[in-house]
Amino acid sequence: MLSAEELQVVDEFRFKQHMPSRAAAVRELLKRGLAAEGYSAAVFGAKSSDYGVTGDSPNGGKGNGKPRAGK
């Protein structure tokens, strides 16, 4: 939960960056903060099954083999 002051700062960032939603602004701020700490960004289109705790992913990063809903 964010305080009113924190929400104000997020909203100011959102409007200055012309972001479509508060959620988009929060995601962008998280991405920037993680990048500043040396964490790499996820590859566009990557699935959660592409990531594992040990660095290895099940099925070689190919997901579970089942089509996603709506695809």
pLDDT in tens, 8-55: 999 999 999 999 999 999 999 988 888 888 887 666 666 767 666 665
pLDDT at 7 over 60: yes
- The whole-number pLDDT of residue 3 equals 93
In a domain, 63, yes or no: no
Number of domains comprising the chain: 1
In a domain, 64, yes or no: no
Domain that residue 22 falls in:
1-33
Instruction: Give the Cα separation of 43 and 40 in Å (integer).
Output: 9
**What is the rounded (10 degree) CA torsion for 21, 23, 28, 34?**
170
Work out whether the CA dihedral 20, 26, 29, 35 comes out positive or negative. Answer: negative
In a domain, 56, yes or no: no
Q: How many residues does the chain have?
A: 71
In a domain, 60, yes or no: no
pTM of the model: 0.56
In a domain, 17, yes or no: yes
In a domain, 54, yes or no: no
- C-beta separation of 57 from 50 below 8 A: yes
